[in-house]
Structure 1
Amino acid sequence: MIDIHSHILPNIDDGSENMEMSLAMLRTSVASGVTDIIATPHVNRHGVIPAWQTIEEKAEELKRAAQEQQIPIRIHTGAEIEFNGDVMRFLEKGSRDYCLAGSPYVLLEFTDQTQPDIAEHMLFALQLRGFWPVLAHIERFPQILADKERLLSWAEKGILYQCNAGSFTGYFGPKCQTRVEELYHNGLIHFLGSDGHRVEFRTTDLREAHEVLDKLAAKEKKESLWQQAEANAQFILKGRVLYPDVPQKWQKKKKGFFSRLFG
């Protein structure tokens, strides 16, 4: 698996507190079957924009430490960028600073205040600058998912969606789990990430999610999202454009017998 969303760099955001914790998080990733992980520290949250050079230097330090500890994982640089007007100021055309693994893909985080109409104009403006937007943990933003037609339209125009593996296990609550299952049912999850922050909570452990996804695939008799997301993430590492299939219309999830009976 390729984990495209993590906060493993030490002492740069609300993720890992130190090198020891970062290495423990990497060991957990390896135990989960992760071969590659993209470090995506928060950028532009509360107006704080770490220098790209700082992110690269911390990633190199972590790579050296992981090699010394013989932790078999490849670490790539990136960022999770809060999506507001400042983004247009520091994501400059032709630059790959703050992008995922040196590619044109850029991981963008909405907020509870994000307005879909405004976001749409900004997303397409970024595309005109040559960036390929990936929306982080899209299942956490009901105001975005409320407009199904817009969600499908964005995907048709090249906007891609990442979901947190923990959403499938219920870690982020039942409402978030319901939304991620709806996205899964409609084939609108392109990438998975741990969004790992610490070792005590919000970890990089993907094993439970892997089991849930395999059970869903077996139930529906199709390829597991685990494998699909890994294959899609290869496009990021190779800097290639991903053209996923997009459903023509939103399919409502069928209710079970008792849900239909009791509403």
Structure 2
Amino acid sequence: MIDIHSHILPGIDDGAKTIEDSLAMARQAYEQGITKIVASPHHRNGSFENDKTTILNEVGLLNTKLQQEGIDIEILPGQENRIYGELIEDINGEDLLTVNDTGMYMLIEFPSSHLPRYANKLLFDLQVNGIIPVIVHPERNREIMENPDRLFKLIKEGALSQLTGSSVTGKMGKKIQKFSMDLIHHNLAHFVASDAHNITNRPFDLRNAMESVEREFDMSTRYMLQENAQEMIQGKMVSKELPQEIKRKKFLGIF
């Protein structure tokens, strides 16, 4: 399996703190059957800034260490970009990084409580510039949970989305789990990734997540999600079906 979203690089965000933490995470991932991990540290989220050069250097150092330790996992470069108004202006500079530096997919994070008003236009402008935005963990965004039509419109306009494994397995609560399954059922989710930060409370839980998908749907749905991760890191087009609207009433008290 390929994990397209993790915080395995040491000491640069709220993920692994030390190289020993990174190695422990890699060993856990290997036990899950993961062979490649996209390192996607936070960028421009108000707490951390990790530019392209920093990430590429750190990925190289970690890969060297993994080889020395005999851990058969490859780390690929990525970046979890918090959406900001000047993002389009920065895409041709040395600040932003696409998944595996292929120039095709970019992980985009929204604030946990809402979607900025400019989100639709910015994600559209990314596509005009040849980059497909991948919205990370939309199932944990309060506004999207209360109004799934916001996500539907973004997906309909060409964006993709990635669920968190722990959301799918129910470790983040039954409401988030049900909503995650709703998103898959309505063709509003295209990837599942660990978003691993450590080996304890935010671990690699990708195998369990894929098994949950298979139980809820079928093997072909699981295969599609796993295959999409492979296509993403190669800079190829992923599989997707026509998105469907989720009909539901707004509700409060989610968290």
TM-score, normalised on structure 2? Answer: 0.88
What is the Cα deviation at residue 115 of structure 1? 3.0
Q: Which runs of 4+ in 1 moved over 4 A?
A: none
Instruction: Give 1:92-131 correspondences, 5 Å limit.
Output: 92=92, 97-103=96-102, 104-115=104-115, 117-131=117-131
Per-residue deviation, residues 162-210 of structure 1 (Å, max 9, x unmatched): 0001102222122211211211222322011100001222011333323
Instruction: Give 1:94-243 correspondences, 5 Å limit.
Output: 97-103=96-102, 104-115=104-115, 117-217=117-217, 222-243=218-239
Residue of structure 2 equivalent to 1:17: 17
Is 1:92–1:129's contact at 8 Å kept on the other side of the alignment?
no
CA distance in 2, matches of 1:149, 1:60: 40
Is 2:134–2:159's contact at 8 Å kept on the other side of the alignment?
yes
Is 1:39–1:78's contact at 8 Å kept on the other side of the alignment?
yes
Q: 1:251–1:74: structure 2 CA closer, same or farther, 3 Å change rule?
A: farther
CA distance in 2, matches of 1:114, 1:86: 18
Size of the alignment, in residue pairs? 247
CA distance in 1, matches of 2:221, 2:142: 22
Sequence identity, in percent?
Answer: 34
Is 2:188–2:244's contact at 8 Å kept on the other side of the alignment?
no
Q: Which has the larger radius of gyration?
A: 1
SS at match of 1:192: strand
CA distance in 1, matches of 2:49, 2:90: 9
Q: 1:188–1:134: structure 2 CA closer, same or farther, 3 Å change rule?
A: same
What is the Cα deviation at residue 131 of structure 1? 1.2
SS at match of 1:158: coil
What is the Cα deviation at residue 150 of structure 1? 4.2
Is 2:99–2:232's contact at 8 Å kept on the other side of the alignment?
yes
Name stretches of at least 5 consecutive residues in structure 1 with no aligned partner. 253-263
Q: 1:96–1:231: structure 2 CA closer, same or farther, 3 Å change rule?
A: farther
Is 2:108–2:136's contact at 8 Å kept on the other side of the alignment?
yes
Root mean square deviation, CA, Å = 2.2
Per-residue deviation, residues 26-53 of structure 1 (Å, max 9, x unmatched): 1111111111110000000106422311
SS at match of 1:196: coil
SS at match of 1:8: coil
CA distance in 2, matches of 1:16, 1:47: 15
SS at match of 1:57: helix
Per-residue deviation, residues 66-117 of structure 1 (Å, max 9, x unmatched): 1111111121000001112242342238x79411012220000000353364
CA distance in 2, matches of 1:18, 1:116: 34
SS at match of 2:219: coil
Q: Which amino acid aligns with 1:151?
A: L
What is the Cα deviation at residue 56 of structure 1? 0.8
CA distance in 2, matches of 1:29, 1:114: 31
Is 2:4–2:38's contact at 8 Å kept on the other side of the alignment?
yes
Q: 1:250–1:150: structure 2 CA closer, same or farther, 3 Å change rule?
A: same
SS at match of 2:88: helix
Q: Which amino acid aligns with 1:36?
A: K
Q: Which amino acid aligns with 1:2?
A: I
User: Would you say 1:80 and 2:76 are equivalent positions?
Assistant: no
CA distance in 2, matches of 1:148, 1:137: 13
